[in-house]
Amino acid sequence: MTKSRDDREELKHDPGRRKFLKGVGIAGAGAAIADHLWTEAEAKEKVSTPESLSGSVKVVLDVNGQKREAQVEPRTTLLNTLRNHLEPAVTGPKLVCDVGTCGACTVLLDGKPVYSCLVLAVDATNKKITTVEGLGTPENPNAVQAAFVENDALMCGFCTPGFVTTISAYLKKNPNPSMAEVREACKGNFCRCGTYPRVFEAALAAAKSSQA
């Protein structure tokens, strides 16, 4: 999503991490991030002055249908919380860039893909969080997970949870996409091993198998 110059000016004058995460995080969450999340966040900020948080706070997250509690600092990202502050940890979302450029940390917030390295845990408490673990199991994978295996759509696998999550959400919106549409939907996810052709083939195969 392209941010307006006004938005960029606003960020420039308020360089705090929270503002950065709220702005760039939402803006940077790939093709699938909804414009209205940004608008909603800005609207809330205008009508209420949030309590300032300091020290560590308890957060209760709805992760893959389970209530999970963690004690974190207000600045702790959702990715960090999932991976390092839950017991047992949720390690499907991967830490790669930590700055919203690669998509390896993609999770679904209320069904929409976001970069969890750019969302604060405290901002995710009232949303349903779905990670790649919540999409299926090794015994009962979802169509995208199964298609990735069948199409050998990974090498090192670091990018894979992000792609699987993004594509799973996209196929709900568009169950019969073209190759061009799949490529567009995945433009917020990078694969350093260059497995793109098989990733895209897997996405199309998953779409086909879901319709069979």
In the Cβ-directed half-sphere of 139, how many Cα atoms lie within 13 Å? Answer: 0
Whose Cβ is closer to ligand FES: residue 57's or residue 97's? 97
Pick 86 or 97: Cβ nearer ligand FES: 97
Min. distance of Cβ 84 from ligand FES in angstroms? 14
Q: In whole angstroms, give the CA distance from residue 81 to residue 196.
A: 29
Interacting residues toward ligand FES by CB under 6 A: 95-98, 100-105, 115, 117, 154-159, 191-193, 195
Q: C-beta of 118: minimal distance to ligand FES in Å?
A: 7
Q: Are 97 and 90 in contact (CB under 8 A)?
A: no
Distance from C-alpha of 36 to C-alpha of 184, rounded to nearest angstrom: 20
H-type alpha helices, 48-151: 78-84, 143-150
Of 9 and 152, which has the nearer Cβ to ligand FES?
152
In the bound complex, what is the minimum distance in angstroms from residue 96's beta carbon to ligand FES?
Answer: 4
Sequence-distant (≥ 6) Cβ neighbours of residue 186 within 8 angstroms: 31, 163, 166, 167, 170, 196, 199, 200, 203
CB of 26 to ligand FES, least distance (A): 13
Nearer to ligand FES, 93 or 177 (CB): 93
User: C-beta of 47: minimal distance to ligand FES in Å?
Assistant: 29
Helix (H, G, I), strand (E, B) or coil at 134: helix
Strands (DSSP E) contained in the chain are 57-63, 66-72, 106-109, 112-115, 128-130
Query: Can you name the residues that pair with 63 across neighbouring β-strands?
Result: 66, 129
Least spacing, CB of residue 107 vs ligand FES, in Å: 10
Q: Smaller CB distance to ligand FES: residue 30 or 134?
A: 30
Q: 64 vs 165, which CB is nearer to ligand FES?
A: 165
